[in-house]
Amino acid sequence: TLTRFFAFHFILPFIITALAGVHLLFLHETGSNNPSGISSDSDKIPFHPYYTTKDILGALAMITALTTLVLFSPDLLGDPDNYTPANPLNTPPHIKPEWYFLFAYAILRSIPNKLGGVLALVASILILTAFPLLHTS
């Protein structure tokens, strides 16, 4: 299962890139139209040179910003705890999860019973998945 999971995560970026290429191909063939719903050929904008130039300039701006960040300040977004030498015999007391796991960490820490914390975490996720079903309008 782990091999399949790895293969899926390896192949997924290539699939997304291929779908983006197909999207750009269709946009190039049909052109972009007015979002107000008027379907006349006079309102269509040709893909090249307008969108080609915009996409290339946007990509160059992002690549320039990322390259500047990596080359001139590589530790700007890093955590200082990454420079602490690892000790497998001692767990540091200040460990906390990344921001996207903080909700689960708070739920698990708020209930002293382990089973109760896991059940509360599962219940919180089930409540979030039930919201679209409970929406009546």
| Residue 28 falls in the annotated catalytic set | yes
Q: Catalytic pick from 44, 55, 96, 124?
A: 55
Residues in Cβ contact with 54 at an 8 Å cutoff, skipping those fewer than 6 apart: none
HSE value, Cβ hemisphere, 13 Å, CA-based, for 57: 6
| Residue 32 falls in the annotated catalytic set | yes
The answer to whether 31 touches 42, Cβ cutoff 8 Å, is no
Mark residue 107 as left, alpha or beta (left: phi above 0; alpha: psi -120 to 50; beta: remaining). alpha
| Residue 44 falls in the annotated catalytic set | no
Alpha carbon distance 64, 108 (integer Å): 42
Write the single-letter amino acid at 7: A
Q: Catalytic pick from 23, 44, 54, 96?
A: 54
| Residue 9 falls in the annotated catalytic set | no
Residues in Cβ contact with 84 at an 8 Å cutoff, skipping those fewer than 6 apart: 92
Q: Where in the sequence numbering do the catalytic residues fall? A: 28, 32, 54-55, 98
